[in-house]
Structure 1
Amino acid sequence: MSPCGTASAPAGAQATDIPAHRVKLDNPLSVAIDRLGTVFIAAPSAHGVWRVNPEGTASLLGSKNPAVTSRRGPAEGEDDCGSPASVAVDPNGYLVVVDHGNNRVCYLNTGGTTSSLAGSGKPGFAGDGGPAGYALLSSPSGVAADRAGNIFIADTGNHRVRRVQASTGIISTIAGNGSPGFSGDGGPATSASLMSPQGLAVDSDGNLWIADTGNNRIRRVDASSDVIKTVAGGGGVGFGGDGGPATRASLGGPTAVAVDDGGNLFIADTHNQRIRRVEADTGVITTVAGNGRSGFSGDDGQATDATLSNPTGLTLDEGDSLYIADSLNHRVRRIDLGSGVITTVAGSGSGGGNEAPVADAGHDQILECTSPEGTLVQLDGSESSDPEGGTLALRWTGPFLRAASPAAGVRPQVFLPLGKSVVRLSVNNGQLVSQPARTTVEIRVGLQPMGEALANMVPEGEAIPGRRKAWKLGVNLPLGLRLLCGSRVLRSGEVSPPRIVALAGDEGPVSLAAVCAAWRKPEGTCLLFHFTDGSWTYDLNTANFKRGTYLATIEMPDGRRFCATFDLH
């Protein structure tokens, strides 16, 4: 994977490339890699796992409350793996995630969907000998898988390591007696005392390696005998012992381990700001990365000269590279073990979490109708912005005609119907999705009053000219309109007809229901204009009216309302 890889959209979003060095990893705790070279990074602040592909693109999996299904435990109380502290890849390529804050371990698929593997979500200790999904865990912090697909969990708060059997889903304790402390070397691992174990690794022979963090030791459980012993640490808390036996060296809160095919052990010596290596053949410990100072420096140089800050995660690829979750530097770094050179592969170095992009759907628009089948409108999302400086993918939704919603692009052209349409825009920068923005597009018909009765017609709310024609009481008052889309006259069947929605006289509102009843016509149709001889007409029967001035309110097919007055004498 190139150190200049790119990060792309969350699962379910359209992919948009963003340089990986701009991603705010914000305290990455763990890193894993699969056989294809895909790197996975536990990202607690993003509530998901970053997946960085060998070709240099990445996606954020599991963020934004993905759907959850239960395989081996109760559905009640489940949530997404929203607090990822550790990540591993099983031999089938499935991603296993420790949800530290929710006391669970999950599977996470490439679509961002989680399914429960172990833990009911409640803290405590229970469940050994039963289905893992019903068990209680306490602040689990590490996970590993062996070649058979068995899953090992650092049950940190319970001072145990537990195993979920691949074939049955049954959970059991394989190391630790639950009593915090140090004891048991040379005996059964289940009788030993551990102190807040965190990182785990399983080698090619099935031996389990444990970062016994609170004891400042690395311990190993033999696969064939289940006997536990210390393989590094024992010289007290601090830093010391390089060049000598690992069991006499001093460690400082080791939190992660990795083992290569030759049995060489790598240790994230977290509080010493170093990565250390124990030679399989000799048991001698040395530093392979970190100068002991806390900070960031040294990229493209020798790893032993570089500065780290709280390294908490380790993994090895199938080549000759070691990946480090350099947590307080908010980066994942890579050491070429052949040359000893260190580089950054992901992370901007800035914490605080990634900032969401901001959608801007442009100004509201008012347009004249061009066709009853839909008026072409150009939308404008060009003012949308991304604090991360990434490329944005735009997603527009609305009552689009002639094409399905959503639409994409910065300035898409869409067809909208008559009236007011609300169009919404959301954007994503490959990491986070914006809050939706909205714009209103109003498509108006053209209006031509026909005859004298509507000569003084104005939009509702505007002042009506005082000059108007007087009509004789009892006549059918002729109201006429032409509706236009461009130069085209809109006919019956192409638009909804105009309708009278209110009448008022000198004495107040006129009951439209009473008017229709007096005319012996249903209210739903008696107030509608009818298309005749190229225009929309309505003959207002004034037989039951009184003398005086009247105000008629007429609603057009686009929803706008207009008012006109007339006198009856």
Structure 2
Amino acid sequence: MTFAEENLVGQKPVGLFVNDQDAVYVANRENGQILVWTNGSSTPTPIISTNSTNIWSIFVTTDGDIYADNGNENGHVNKWTFNATQNEIVMNVHGWCTGLFVDINYHLYCSSTNNHHVIKIPLNNGQTVPMVVAGTGCRGPVPNMLDHPHGIFIDNKLNLYVADTHNNRIQLFAPGKKDAKTIAGFGAKVRFILNRPTDIALDVDGYLYIVESQNHRIIRSIPNGFKCLVGCSGNGGATSQQLDYPQSMAFDTIGNIFRSAKINTMLRDAP
């Protein structure tokens, strides 16, 4: 089911978030707008102008604060407080944040793809210089290294999940640990080949969902491995059963999967 067309979300929508009230947030990279659909509306309102282009990722907290990547052009992450028209700089970065996440302790994480690491800062204390929590800053395939990471997810135990895109694997970093465990893809115990994973999410039951861009599909963990959910032919396309280089995904409260792509419009799949 098509949720939003190119005339609204642009040709390459990547930044996508759905909050616990089922409001859908999408960043239009071409014109620098963040569009918000609330209460099941077919028309986005409000539309937030960011004065930036190439927004790669967004995250919205439970109190309505919006965090948006502005790293490639301006070297920082911006925050829009709920119902405010002005933004503030909350993190200094070098290059895109291809994944953003705020954990239960209000730490903001950025997946810095060109720097091959994940960084974080505590929010609400004025600090803007982040610390590295995963990766060495050099690309590589060993447990303490990443290669162009993208999507990230932090669970309630503060475990950090990273879509290690160019290593074709999903890495799990326990709190305070520099060496990761590979839980999917190249090097994992369960053999399931990944091809450029770009986003990850956990559902309320702890199942892992992976957006696999180059295989044009979304997969999900099961007790003994993984299974494909959408795009299972592996061929990119625009039919109802196909994806075309999917980039990111999000759930609403009833299990619909929203997904964005470099070429497709923004779509929604029923649970």
TM-score, normalised via structure 1 length: 0.44
Correspondence list, 1:460-499, <5 A: none
Provide the C-alpha distance between the structure 2 equivalents of 1:112 and 1:313, rounded to a whole number of angstroms. 27
Equivalent residue number for residue 270 of structure 2: 336
Equivalent residue number for residue 58 of structure 1: 44
CA deviations over 1:159-186 (Å, ceiling 9, x no partner): 11001112533521100111111112xx
Provide the C-alpha distance between the structure 2 equivalents of 1:253 and 1:161, rounded to a whole number of angstroms. 18
Tell me whether 1:113 sits opposite 2:116 in the alignment.
no
Change over 3 Å in CA distance of 1:223–1:316 after alignment to 2? farther
Q: Supply the AA of the counterpart residue of 2:166.
A: G
Contact 1:31/1:41 (<8 A) preserved:
yes
Provide the C-alpha distance between the structure 1 equivalents of 2:64 and 2:249, rounded to a whole number of angstroms. 18
Equivalent residue number for residue 98 of structure 2: 141
Equivalent residue number for residue 227 of structure 2: 286
Q: 2:117 is matched with which residue: 160, 165, 173?
A: 160
**Cα distance, 1:21 vs. partner?**
4.3
Q: Supply the AA of the counterpart residue of 2:98.
A: S
Correspondence list, 1:540-555, <5 A: none
Q: Supply the AA of the counterpart residue of 1:295.
A: G
CA deviations over 1:170-208 (Å, ceiling 9, x no partner): 521100111111112xxxxxxx11101111112233211
Equivalent residue number for residue 264 of structure 1: 207
Equivalent residue number for residue 295 of structure 1: 237
In structure 2, runs of 5+ residues without a counterpart are: none
**Cα distance, 1:27 vs. partner?**
1.0
Q: Supply the AA of the counterpart residue of 1:116.
A: I
Tell me whether 1:216 sits opposite 2:159 in the alignment.
no
**Cα distance, 1:99 vs. partner?**
1.7
Contact 2:2/2:266 (<8 A) preserved:
no
CA deviations over 1:468-510 (Å, ceiling 9, x no partner): xxxxxxxxxxxxxxxxxxxxxxxxxxxxxxxxxxxxxxxxxxx
Q: 2:28 is matched with which residue: 43, 51, 69?
A: 43
Equivalent residue number for residue 89 of structure 1: 60
Identity, % of aligned positions:
22
Q: Supply the AA of the counterpart residue of 1:208.
A: L
**Cα distance, 1:88 vs. partner?**
1.1
CA deviations over 1:298-329 (Å, ceiling 9, x no partner): 1xxxxxxx110110011122322221113311
Change over 3 Å in CA distance of 1:336–1:324 after alignment to 2? same
Change over 3 Å in CA distance of 1:46–1:225 after alignment to 2? same
Q: Supply the AA of the counterpart residue of 2:261.
A: D
Change over 3 Å in CA distance of 1:176–1:21 after alignment to 2? closer
Correspondence list, 1:238-277, <5 A: 247-277=190-220
Provide the C-alpha distance between the structure 2 equivalents of 1:246 and 1:325, rounded to a whole number of angstroms. 30
Provide the C-alpha distance between the structure 2 equivalents of 1:96 and 1:155, rounded to a whole number of angstroms. 15
Change over 3 Å in CA distance of 1:311–1:112 after alignment to 2? farther
Provide the C-alpha distance between the structure 2 equivalents of 1:4 and 1:215, rounded to a whole number of angstroms. 32
Provide the C-alpha distance between the structure 2 equivalents of 1:149 and 1:44, rounded to a whole number of angstroms. 26
**Cα distance, 1:269 vs. partner?**
0.2
Equivalent residue number for residue 72 of structure 2: 101
Change over 3 Å in CA distance of 1:179–1:247 after alignment to 2? farther
**Cα distance, 1:211 vs. partner?**
0.6
Tell me whether 1:183 sits opposite 2:169 in the alignment.
no
Equivalent residue number for residue 260 of structure 2: 325
Contact 2:16/2:27 (<8 A) preserved:
yes
Q: Supply the AA of the counterpart residue of 2:141.
A: F
Provide the C-alpha distance between the structure 2 equivalents of 1:113 and 1:268, rounded to a whole number of angstroms. 33
Q: Supply the AA of the counterpart residue of 1:96.
A: Y
Change over 3 Å in CA distance of 1:208–1:223 after alignment to 2? same
**Cα distance, 1:262 vs. partner?**
1.6
Provide the C-alpha distance between the structure 2 equivalents of 1:226 and 1:263, rounded to a whole number of angstroms. 23
Contact 2:117/2:149 (<8 A) preserved:
yes
Change over 3 Å in CA distance of 1:208–1:88 after alignment to 2? same
CA deviations over 1:356-379 (Å, ceiling 9, x no partner): xxxxxxxxxxxxxxxxxxxxxxxx
Provide the C-alpha distance between the structure 2 equivalents of 1:320 and 1:146, rounded to a whole number of angstroms. 21
In structure 1, runs of 5+ residues without a counterpart are: 6-19, 67-79, 120-135, 185-191, 236-244, 299-305, 338-569
Q: 2:7 is matched with which residue: 12, 16, 23?
A: 23
Query: Highest relative contact order (Cα 8 Å, sep 6+), 1 or 2?
Result: 2
Task: Name the larger-Rg structure.
Answer: 1
Contact 1:92/1:149 (<8 A) preserved:
no
What is the RMSD of the two structures over their aligned residues, measured on CA atoms? 2.3
CA deviations over 1:43-79 (Å, ceiling 9, x no partner): 101212111112313136442xx5xxxxxxxxxxxxx
